[in-house]
Structure 1
Amino acid sequence: MSKKEKRLKYAGKGGPKRAKLAKLSGGEGIWLFGVHAVNAALRNPERTCRRLVATEDRVKELDPALLARVKKVETSDRQGIDALLPPGTVHQGLALAVNPLPDLSFDDLKRSAFIKDRAVLVMLDQVTDPQNVGAVLRSAAAFAALGVIMQDRFAPPESGALAKAASGGLESVPLARVVNLSKALEELKAEGFVAIGLEATAEKTLPELAPLPKKVVLVLGSEGEGMRQKQRETCSLLARLPMVTEGPVDSLNVSNAAAIALYEAGRG
């Protein structure tokens, strides 16, 4: 069977068919959208893919083996896809209904870190914006971080906006939710991790701490308030990013700060 025939197979006899698209009902999962987020989800064996709605051009670009993972494939124009998603969504002609990923326990993350010679983790304290969390996951994937840790009551739910900002990182970087961040830090320190809190008023810059330990957890707070006192006190060290002292900008978006810190941690 040719690739073209395989593709048409998923749309039914006679080729792709358009019909009135039904929105997701309760319990049918969440929509992911955008080329990178959808392709990464299709490649993730842990992801249950329920329904793909795409333009004909986008369907033709997809590997038939990936299409075979989807229970239902539908074609539509961009306006039809617009109607399925929140207003203003930039979907690039692809929307994929999926089940949320299985939860990763903090203990599982610790076990995977234990067997590594080098490991970098990221902990986010009260970072609630899904696009910021997604961007941190993207940087974590780019710099081979082992995982991201968040407090469950402040962690945004998995969503299309988060996945799109992560640009595939949501599918490859484990995200663990815990009840108590300071307790999690203590447990990681007991496993040999050095907890470095990013703090704008810290005496030393992160590069000045080089070479960094082989096992590091980078702790970042929200842009407005930074780390909370308990997490600050639990960190092994505090460091700031090297910025122009009297420049026009005195802070960075948390996702930008995470990217710089992850780069430094990766240098060792």
Structure 2
Amino acid sequence: MDYPEGKLPPTYDVAENELPYQIRLALWQTAFGLQKVDGLSPSEYMVELAYENIEGKKGYDAIYREISDYHREAHVDANTVEADIVSLRIAELLAEDHFRLSPSTLLGIHRHLFTDVFPEEIPVGKFRTVNITKKEPVLDGDTAQYSSHFMIQDTLAYDFEKEQNFSYSGLTNEQKVLHAMAFLADIWQVHPFREGNTRTVAVFGIQYLRKLGFHIDNSLFSEHAAYFRNALVLYHYQGEKQNKRFLIHFFENLLLGKKHVLSDEEMHANE
């Protein structure tokens, strides 16, 4: 390419991220599956566009423009809009290989996933400034205890510093899995955001586990996203229904190739 006089060519090339078909498929399945955490489902048109991306026919920007036009023209409800846009953004983030172990990464993921998705009264890319509760069916209507909003930054700073100083060297794969699981469960328990915590932590967790060198069975998030969230609830619950076994089984299947039966019925019958 010829450049006008006095104009220099760019010194950096645009990074092209060409992933194989099966990896793109797995990432989109994970993105769609994670919407089930909040009982959301993508539109049929979003699924069609996803396959065009999987087949290498369309990039994320083109899909975003097309799905946004579809939402306006078809007057799609807010839940479907959220499922479509957040799925697209999860697939986009998981296609990248950039990760930094820092609370700012959590903030950046949340901002990317939910900008212009949540209503104005829900902060995006910012830690919550109110305390929150949520009635959990898996706890028979009781709520998990999340961090006080006053303690979010200090708690995350402590958890991240401890993880940054931790050495996985010399550990067995089973020990590595249990430690990484506990770290991610602790981050989730803080619930730093007003909404969108589980999807944000899931994306963060997938990126971190890949950085640690784990091979991830993405089908676990696509097929058992609701189980994953309920297992986190039971892991940190301060009461008789506390049970760490369900989350351990999920992570052993996710990272170690084990075949535990992940039963929602068993989880809800947990004593």
Check whether TM > 0.5.
Answer: no
> What's the TM-score once normalised by structure 2's chain length?
0.27
Higher helix share: 2
TM score, norm. by length of structure 1: 0.27
Higher strand residue share: 1
Q: Which has the higher contact order (CA 8 A, sep 6+)?
A: 2
